[in-house]
Amino acid sequence: MALRLFAKGWAFHLKTLTSSGFFVLVSVIQPIIFASIAFFMYEQGSKSGTLLYVALGAGLMGIWSSTLFGSGGAIQWQRWQGTLEILIAAPAPFLLVLVPLTLATASIGLYSIVGTLVWGRIFFGVPLDFAHPLQLVVALPVTVFSLGLLGLMLASTFVLYRQASAFSNLLEYPVWLITGLLVPLSLLPGWVTPISWLLAPTWGVKAIRDAAIAGNPSAWPAIGMCVLLGAAYLVLGWFFMQNFERLARQRATLSLT
């Protein structure tokens, strides 16, 4: 029953998200922008053979943006349209309502990576030769899953704090930077590294790059890290949700917009 609710919820939210004209516009234009960023960064760089490396990072930027706005925005959006109270008052465990929602937003981000690569191929001739297709097929959904669960952890705070989505808007660029999506982590100050280890996009982009680019180490360790972090986010998200939902009912913030 839980699995069915999960699958149905995911499909439902995917349908809601993709039925917006704004979304369609963003999903067409954003990958073009990301592909251009990737290409121009590559052009300015001196190393050869890194075009796919940059393009994959740029593609992941899209998954992160979509998760961040999707998860943060999702709760806020439910508030605005008055469905948050209805979802909370439904007997289904709220975690099982929210996980499919955040995963749906991350899944939409998956399109971004595909779109970025396709546009990169068409406009800038990004070579699409993937070294380990099997690892890539595993790495992509695992990355989407772990980012979705990071979104869940963030979303759980939005149930209580109405202002949290303003904070989430600030997280887009810093995370692009400190997880190595744009520039290699080795170029950043040393204190950034431990923070980046706690963020799923770091391991997600590593897993995808390791799987796609020949000569890189195996993608499995990075895939494993994504799974571990995803599980940790799920536990923390569940814990926050339990407490925040109760607090929101005490403080009467569920219906406020």
Partner 1 sequence: MAVVEAEDLRRTYKTTTGTMRRRSIEVEAVRGVSFSIAEGELFGLLGPNGAGKTTTIKMLITLLIPTSGSARVLGHDVVKDAQWVRKNIGYVFGGDRGLYERLSALDNLRYFAELYAVPPGEQRRRIDELLELVGLKGRERERVEGFSRGMRQRLHIARGLLHDPPVVFLDEPTIGVDPIGARELRATISSLVQAGKTVLLTTHYMFEADALCDRIAMIAKGRIVGEGTPTELKAQVAEGTVVEIEVYGVPDETVDRLRRVPGVRSVSIEDREQAQALLVQTAPGAELTTALLAQLNGTTVGRVSSREPTLEDAYVALVGEE
Question: Given the rule CB under 8 A, which residues bind partner 1?
Answer: 1, 4-5, 8-9, 12, 15-16, 19-20, 81-83, 85-92, 97, 246, 249-252, 254-255
Nearest distance in Å: CB 257, partner 1: 10
Nearest distance in Å: CB 28, partner 1: 18
Q: Name the nearest CA neighbour of 64 among 166, 141, 124, 143.
A: 143
Hey, which bits of the chain come out as E strands?
none
30, 63 in Cβ contact below 8 A? Answer: no
d(CA 76, CA 86): 14
Q: Name the nearest CA neighbour of 63 among 186, 208, 247, 212.
A: 208
Q: Name the nearest CA neighbour of 177 among 25, 41, 52, 73.
A: 41
165, 72 in Cβ contact below 8 A? Answer: yes
Nearest distance in Å: CB 91, partner 1: 4
Of 28 and 86, the one with the shorter C-beta distance to partner 1 is: 86
d(CA 18, CA 235): 29
Nearest distance in Å: CB 9, partner 1: 7
Of 48 and 257, the one with the shorter C-beta distance to partner 1 is: 257
Rg of the chain (C-alpha set): 18
2, 90 in Cβ contact below 8 A? Answer: no
Provide the token pair at 77. 């959006």
Of 69 and 130, the one with the shorter C-beta distance to partner 1 is: 69
3-state DSSP: the chain helix, strand, coil percent, rounded to 5?
A: 80, 0, 20
Of 218 and 243, the one with the shorter C-beta distance to partner 1 is: 243
Nearest distance in Å: CB 253, partner 1: 10
Nearest distance in Å: CB 83, partner 1: 6
Residues 6+ apart with CB under 8 A from 163: none
Of 23 and 220, the one with the shorter C-beta distance to partner 1 is: 23
Q: Name the nearest CA neighbour of 202 among 157, 133, 150.
A: 150
Nearest distance in Å: CB 81, partner 1: 6
Of 38 and 98, the one with the shorter C-beta distance to partner 1 is: 98
Of 19 and 46, the one with the shorter C-beta distance to partner 1 is: 19
